[in-house]
Amino acid sequence: MYRNLMAILLLLFIGTIAALHLLTPDRAFSESENRVLERLPVFSLQAIVSGRFTSNFEKYVSDQFAFRDVWIGVKSDADRFMGKKESNGVYLGADGYLIQKFTAPTAGDLEDKIEAIHSFASATPGLQKYVMLVPTAVTLLKDKLPAYAAAGDEPKYLDQVRQSLHSDIRFVDVYPALYAEREHPVFYKTDHHWTTRGAYYAYRELCRQMGIIPQEEENFHIRQVTNEFYGSLYSKSGFRRLQPDSIELYVPKEDQSYTVEYVEEQQTSDSLYEMDNLNKKDKYKVFLNGNHALIHITTGHPEGKKLLVVKDSYANSLIPFLTKHFSEIYVADLRYFEENLVKLVQEQGIHDMLLLYNIQTFLEDPSIKKLSEGIE
């Protein structure tokens, strides 16, 4: 009788979960994990035979599982009770730091991305190019990792990119600048991004490479705009009972005017910050209102040069520092940008380009190969 009851309860549980999965709409993007979620794969005989359909369907079910974030939290609490310090690819480190585990690229993928950068460079000979790949907390704060946790090989891949780039593409090495200031909060504890302070240190190094004079910290009002930020790693790992992060804005003491155009959305703003997002889950979206296909920023410096930033979300908190030095800044996120980037450079007369990613996203994101699309 007991076994029959347990079998019935198990079937009811499985049936309920299956029904919830069917009734819950698929999500295209996870704000908590800051990544595109797997969509239902297209069925075909070729996909079945090759094994692609089965593999992609497993990823789809995992990503779209009903109440996924809740189950992640239950699992991580159980793991933490058992003394485990890793959950869903996130380490629970010292001082309450959540640190994302390093994932190596597949064979040949990094070489393909470097080749795409070179193809774009060849098609834009008059464009001065800078590449900034930011090491993440797993490298810069490896002393905070749990015992026996692997730091990974980020420095190896940073060096590979540096050595592979053609001499006319300048690699901006921000590791020394961030490492020197690692006792300050250069990374959030619950989120995978660097803090505004970390972005400021990288901005100073970029200015040095560009031959421009950076603004000093005393030129800014440093404002804490929230102390209730629980970021992407908090949600992804499921670890709870941690202190939230604070978000700071570096607001210039000197009055500056901007026009921020979100091109695809056909919306404009006079601010680099969307303060309403501080009341939402992903408070990091206070910077440039999150990620968009193309943003066009016009500053109050009409005599300056034009800059193109090709980026992931790390750039969002660094770009406000650059508005002092350029008349116009075009910001393209290749995950969403579908136009011809070479054409944009040529038509708008852009002088400089900054490719800015954290190294983990650079290794993982296939959209970087779009740089070579449409180039003959």
What is the structure's pLDDT at 31? 56
Amino acid 229: pLDDT: 97
Specify the pLDDT at position 311.
Answer: 98
Gap between the Cα atoms of 141 and 99, Å rounded: 8
Whether the predicted pLDDT of 262 surpasses 70: yes
- Under 8 Å between Cβ of 189 and 96: yes
- The pLDDT > 70 percentage for the chain reads 81
* pLDDT exceeds 70 at position 72: no
Give the mean pLDDT of the chain: 88
Confidence of residue 91 (pLDDT cuts 50, 70, 90): very high
pLDDT tens digit string along 288-345? 999 999 999 999 887 789 999 999 999 999 999 999 999 999 999 999 999 999 999 9
What is the pLDDT, as a whole number, of residue 201?
Answer: 98
Model pTM score: 0.83
Q: Across residues 7-19, what is the average pLDDT?
A: 65
Residue 51 exposure: Cα atoms within 13 Å on the Cβ side: 0
pLDDT of 12 above 80: no
pLDDT of the residue at 54: 72
pLDDT in tens, 182-202: 999 999 999 999 999 999 999
Report pLDDT for 369.
95
C-alpha distance from residue 94 to each of 180, 184, 196 (Å) = 19, 15, 22
Amino acid residing at 143: D
Q: Residue 123: pLDDT band by 50, 70, 90 thresholds?
A: very high
Instruction: Supply the pLDDT for residue 67.
Output: 60
Q: Is 338 exposed, middle or buried (0-12, 13-18, 19+ CB in 10 A)?
A: exposed
Model pLDDT, residue 347: 95
Tell me what pLDDT residue 69 has. Answer: 63
The amino acid at residue 157 is Y
Query: Contact 73/240 with Cβ under 8 angstroms?
Result: yes
pLDDT at 246 exceeding the cut of 80: yes
Give the pLDDT of residue 188: 98
Residue 358 is predicted with a pLDDT of 98
Quote the pLDDT of residue 325.
95
Listed residue (196, 155, 204, 194) closest to 175, CA to CA: 155
pLDDT per residue over 208-223, tens digit each? 999 999 999 999 999 9
Q: Give whole-number Cα distances, 345 to 162, 315, 349, in Å.
A: 24, 19, 6
Rounded alpha-carbon distances, angstroms, from residue 167 to 4, 279, 340, 372: 72, 45, 25, 19
Read off the pLDDT band of 76 (50, 70, 90). Answer: low
